[in-house]
Structure 1
Amino acid sequence: MVRSGGRKGQPSICSMSQVCRPSSLTIATSPIVKKAERALKNANRQLNARLAQIEQLQSELREQAQRDPLTSLFNRRYLSETMERELKLAKREKKPLSVIVMDIDRFKKINDSHGHRLGDEFLTEIAKLLQNHARGSDVICRYGGEEFLIVMPGANARTARKRAEQLRVHCEAMRIAHNGKELRVTLSFGVATYPTHGREGEEIVIKADKALYKSKRRGRNCVTLWEENKG
């Protein structure tokens, strides 16, 4: 015998002695509901996969915006951002920061005599050389056409100058085969350091660049450390 009672909207089952108890009724899920649930789960999976693809693409685009397309080194735009960041850190931690600027000697002659393809090969090989001999904290950039720049957090002038000399020797020993000949290039270097040679990033880079051109005037294939009284 069934009688209305119990919780609202729930029927009660009564025995012959009129003692009633609520019943539990199981309502079967319809095939239409099950199908809709499966479709919703599938749509969520597809949406999550698509969002992951978009996030990956955005990450790749950010990386491309920071890199030189030929050498894969950081570009000049990224240099501005990293110099500001690293200099703030150096000031806060009271540590030095050095900049090495280098330029391929007589690079125009290489392009004019052997073509831009060989010039590009030298650029990419020098980029690899710089990466192979970098510390984990170094930031290596392609600063101009045939000019490169390294930011060395925590390195004083002596350490940076020694690193530049090592790179000069490695580059001088490098050879590239072309039309049955082995060709080589040399690099000229300029070095400047915070806080010895300046307090701001742009000032350090400018002085390292001036020291580089002093290396050019000295005969190329050498390293020059900026000196205030000999600027």
Structure 2
Amino acid sequence: MASAAVPPAPTLDIADLTAQRVRAPAEFLVTAPDTTLDELPLDGFRPLTGRDVNQGISDRAFWIRMRLHNSGNAPVHWVLSHETTYLDLMTVYWVDNGGQWHECSLTDRAPFDKRMLDYRRLAFKHATPPGGSTTLYLRLAYEKPDSVSLNLDLAEAGRFADQSRREYALYGLYYGAMLVLVFISLAGAGLLRQWLFFQYAVFLVASALMWALLNGFAFQFLWPQSVFWHNEGFHILYLLMAASAFQFSRGFLRTRQRFPGIDRAIRCVQAIMMLGILMRFAGFYEPVLVLSFVGLLSLILLAPLGFWAYRQGQHYARWYAIAWVLYGIGLALGVISAGTPWLHWGMDSLVFAQAAGVLEALLLLVALGERLISWDRDRRMALRMAHQDPLTGLNNRRGMSLVYETFRQRFERTGLPVFLILIDLDHFKQINDTYGHEAGDQVLVDLADLLNRTSRPADVCIRYGGEEFVLLLQVPSEAVALDIAERIRLDFAGTPTEHEGRAIRHTLTAGIAPVFAADVQLSPSQMLRDADRALYQAKRQGRNRCRLYQGPSRHTS
């Protein structure tokens, strides 16, 4: 401006300027959006303090004035930048030494390369002559209602450059860590075929894009020509991040199976968020602004949901809950700072929220790993239960093929022969008829305990069905296998079962067959057939005895 009288402005000495936040004696004023510099009520300005920084959501114009005095002997080059990356308009009016007024309009409503400085935030650069002064009037405004911060940073140009380099390096660490986590999650999705890892990756990408937009890097590096995405993408990405967080949480906490009512509520919330995204593309602004803030705040509820799931037996949910406590608090503080004047630290809470986001992502990866271990443990337990006899705790006949393959591989590796001992209780029906089925069950349990005590860790005991048991073992010869069967028979016959004060005497008969040896390679059906033939011969000879299979010297599978 060329003709306006220079209004009085409070003075800041910048001879020894390094870097500082703009505060009193700088002053501020709130006016209608269309108020010009000539129309300012100069007596309405008041000192800018920390309590005035957060102005909540507003469509008003905010003015800041100050006089920068250089008492030194050399010009001071300085940079004035706004705290946020989403400020629409920063108009700078300045005059040096009471001369001609100048005007510079900085805006994010133009492509990134139109900016005065190649910097992620709107910034104004100037030099105050030695012994002189620069009077500044700044107008901060938005084209639509948005969250207003009056935080401005004033820094000597060299210090500003150094701070910018450190700042970009720190942010680079954040985005590098997020990129590594996305790669790990996608690798987990592909290698482990776990859809949950892909949902985690989607959440990480949405979260990183949201922060890239808030940090200004998306506009600077990803879409520098897209004014629409820089200005309108905030609320879209807020909602997308929140929706993806809920989707990941549904899968991680298995809400559909464990908490069906909560799951239905989450799906309704996600549908509203998707509708909000469509509304934003359709041109609606303020309803989507409010909805996006509410969506981010709703993520706080994921922490208590995680703790509830933990108390319901999902032990891996503890890391999930802790992760969302940290991130939820950070996001809540950021939303409160942006949407209300209640807090007085500007947008500094976003730094905490973003740092908490990295820690949250790491804790969620730990939770995913623990959940995967838990899932594998449950799967193994289910398989074990499926192959386990419920009465005796031994393997059942379903596991025979798996056991057979294990012993075949051992034989190929060691060359040590494998034998099958097929055991049948003598006159078991008579025991049931005389003492009752509970007594019969106790006899079966005692035999199973005897087999467990007698066998070695590498041997496998199976309840094959009814009163029949199988013992698979590797020993050097038929004689050793027969000796083991004899010891089992004698021990069982010499140890009656105690049931309800009565001693139940019992015996067993066993047939032994080689399974794998130098000249023997039997299939599962063949080994059972040979052992059953030996068992049948032992029974014909009077029971309570063990017999080796006597047949052809070689079998092939």
Q: TM above 0.5, one fold?
A: yes
User: 1:41 Cα shift?
Assistant: 2.4
The question of whether the paired residues in 2 share the 8 Å contact of 1:164 and 1:223 is answered with: yes
The question of whether the paired residues in 1 share the 8 Å contact of 2:415 and 2:517 is answered with: no
Q: Measured at CA, do residues 29 and 197 of structure 1 come closer, stay the same or move farther in structure 2, by a change above 3 Å?
A: farther
User: 1:137 Cα shift?
Assistant: 1.2
Q: Measured at CA, do residues 210 and 29 of structure 1 come closer, stay the same or move farther in structure 2, by a change above 3 Å?
A: farther
Q: How does 1:77-92 map to 2 (within 5 A)?
A: 77-92=398-413
- Corresponding residue for 1:30? 348
- Corresponding residue for 1:200? 522
**In 1, Cα distance between the equivalents of 2:373 and 2:512?**
43
User: 1:156 Cα shift?
Assistant: 2.0
Q: Comparing 157-166 with 173-182, which one deviates more in the overlay?
A: 173-182
- Corresponding residue for 1:228? 551
The question of whether the paired residues in 2 share the 8 Å contact of 1:13 and 1:21 is answered with: no
What's the CA shift string for 1:44-103, capped at 9, x where partnerless?
A: 266555544433322221110121111110111111211123124314533311110100
The answer for unaligned runs of 5 or more in structure 1 is none
**In 2, Cα distance between the equivalents of 1:52 and 1:91?**
32
Q: Counterpart of 2:465 in 1: which secondary structure? A: coil
User: 1:177 Cα shift?
Assistant: 2.4
Which ranges of 4 or more aligned residues in structure 1 deviate by more than 6 Å?
10-17, 25-29
- Corresponding residue for 1:67? 388
The question of whether the paired residues in 1 share the 8 Å contact of 2:534 and 2:549 is answered with: yes
Amino acid at match of 2:433: D
Q: Comparing 25-34 with 83-92, which one deviates more in the overlay?
A: 25-34
- Corresponding residue for 1:103? 424
Amino acid at match of 2:360: K
Choose the corresponding residue for 1:186, options 507, 513, 534.
507
The question of whether the paired residues in 2 share the 8 Å contact of 1:90 and 1:154 is answered with: no
Larger RCO: 1 or 2 (CA < 8 Å, sep 6+): 1
The question of whether the paired residues in 2 share the 8 Å contact of 1:14 and 1:21 is answered with: no
| Counterpart check, 1:219 vs 2:537 | no
| Counterpart check, 1:126 vs 2:447 | yes
The question of whether the paired residues in 1 share the 8 Å contact of 2:489 and 2:544 is answered with: yes
What's the TM-score, normalizing by structure 2? 0.37
**In 2, Cα distance between the equivalents of 1:29 and 1:131?**
67
The question of whether the paired residues in 2 share the 8 Å contact of 1:140 and 1:148 is answered with: yes
Q: Counterpart of 1:143 in 2: which secondary structure? A: strand
What's the TM-score, normalizing by structure 1? 0.83
| Counterpart check, 1:2 vs 2:112 | no
The question of whether the paired residues in 2 share the 8 Å contact of 1:12 and 1:21 is answered with: no
Identity of aligned residues (%): 29
Amino acid at match of 1:125: D
User: Please, what is the CA RMSD of the aligned residues?
Assistant: 3.4
**In 1, Cα distance between the equivalents of 2:369 and 2:347?**
27
Amino acid at match of 1:95: L
Q: Measured at CA, do residues 195 and 56 of structure 1 come closer, stay the same or move farther in structure 2, by a change above 3 Å?
A: closer
The question of whether the paired residues in 1 share the 8 Å contact of 2:442 and 2:499 is answered with: no
The question of whether the paired residues in 2 share the 8 Å contact of 1:98 and 1:154 is answered with: yes
Q: Measured at CA, do residues 81 and 47 of structure 1 come closer, stay the same or move farther in structure 2, by a change above 3 Å?
A: closer
The question of whether the paired residues in 1 share the 8 Å contact of 2:425 and 2:507 is answered with: yes
